[in-house]
Amino acid sequence: MFSTYAEYLAMPGSLTFEEMASLHRQILEEAGRDADALALYGELYAAAVKYAQSRAQWPLWDREEKQEEDRTRTSRHDHVIDCFNILARYLKKQGKDVSWHDTLGSDRKRVGDLACYLVFTGSLNAR
């Protein structure tokens, strides 16, 4: 039911902590002080919080709860993906480097992993 970071890393397509930190750093550096980019990042972060909540509860739910919540979790995941894509498109239009988006790719699990990392770092910094 519960697993470790080492077990996560053994899964195909996993991002290391260092890779997630690097992607996050690149996103924030490219957003810089651009108010519109920061607003889009804020929307991404808000979507990530909702998604991470569903994902974090997943191991706690029984089969029936998972069936009831699956649509919501998927919808939240889709929203996170959209937010990453919108932010990348905006930054690209501003002439910023969006290689982080190419590195992240379109694998749903990897995108969800990075969303959870954003929430992790935000939660730690909220102390």
22-125 CATH pick, 1.10.287, 3.30.465, 1.10.3120, 3.40.50: 1.10.287
| pLDDT value at residue 74 | 98
Q: What is the pLDDT along the chain (127 residues), one digit of tens a residue?
A: 679 999 999 999 999 999 999 999 999 999 999 999 999 999 999 999 999 999 999 999 999 999 999 999 999 999 999 999 999 999 999 999 999 999 999 999 999 999 999 999 999 999 9
Tokens at residue 6, please?
Answer: 């080492």
| Side chain identity, residue 82 | D
**Closest C-alpha among 98, 93, 113, 96 to residue 48:** 113
Query: Residue 75 belongs to what H/E stretch?
Result: helix 63-93
Report domain extents, the chain.
Answer: 22-125
| pLDDT value at residue 2 | 78
**Which pTM does this prediction carry?**
0.96
